Amino acid sequence: MSDPSEFKSLDTPPERKHVITIKIQADDWKHALAALDEAAERLTHGPNIFTIGGSPDFSYVVVDHANPAVSHGVYIRQLEAWLDQCNPQEPQDVPRS
């Protein structure tokens, strides 16, 4: 098992414990918002959800991918390491008093 404090690659930023993906398709903006409202209601049923819904005017897919080994502290360490590698800084001379 890999160390949860390590991130996957520079191309993939670290993820938090829950990553929710919602894909909405609608015939117009009003129906897109209706789909978002219905999808949000489905999320109240709990984590680790996969659901599909819709009407004649819209459709949606909701997926919650859980990363159980990722706590807030692990995520912050992963994020800091990822940002350090994405934005390497030249060492700077620090004036000494």
Q: Mind listing the pLDDT tens digit for each residue in 38-74?
A: 999 988 888 888 999 999 999 999 999 999 999 999 9
CA distance 38 to 97: 61
52 contacts 38 by C-beta, under 8 angstroms:
no
pTM to 2 decimals?
0.68
**Nearby residues of 8 by Cβ (< 8 Å), 6 or more positions away:** 14
| DSSP letter (8 states) at residue 75 | H
CA distance 28 to 22: 17
